[in-house]
Amino acid sequence: MRMRKKWILIAPFAILGMVAFAALGGLLVRELWNWLLPPLFGWTRITFWQAFGLLALCRILFGGLGLHGRGGPRFRNRFGPRGEKWTPEERERFRQRVHERFGFGPPTGPSTES
């Protein structure tokens, strides 16, 4: 019961904080746009709501929607627990397959350079 009271007290401040953060982001985008782009490229000035929409669009296109969780790169999250249990031979085989398939990473095995 005590935890429920805590959430009832925190929730309004959390919502207010999210709204303030979004408003600040919209104002920042608007000011930067109106300061840089009209003088440089002759583009028109934008309103707060246009800046807010632009911020939301950039978040969707480049930042995702925050649904993938936190904690580092997806590669580590996906292969980390399994990779920790691999033997050195399995790790080497995995590195070779990545290098053969994608062509990056340190080559493994004997060097062919002279």
Kindly state the average pLDDT of the residues 80-95: 78
Average pLDDT, stretch 97-108?
72
Q: Which residue has the higher pLDDT, 25 or 110?
A: 25
Q: What is the mean pLDDT of residues 5-28?
A: 90
Contact between 105 and 99 (Cβ < 8 Å): yes
**Mean pLDDT, rounded, for 45-66:** 88
Cα separation of 3 and 12, whole Å?
15
Residue 77's pLDDT is: 47
**Contact assessment for residue 51 and residue 26, using Cβ atoms and an 8 Å cutoff:** yes
pTM score = 0.51
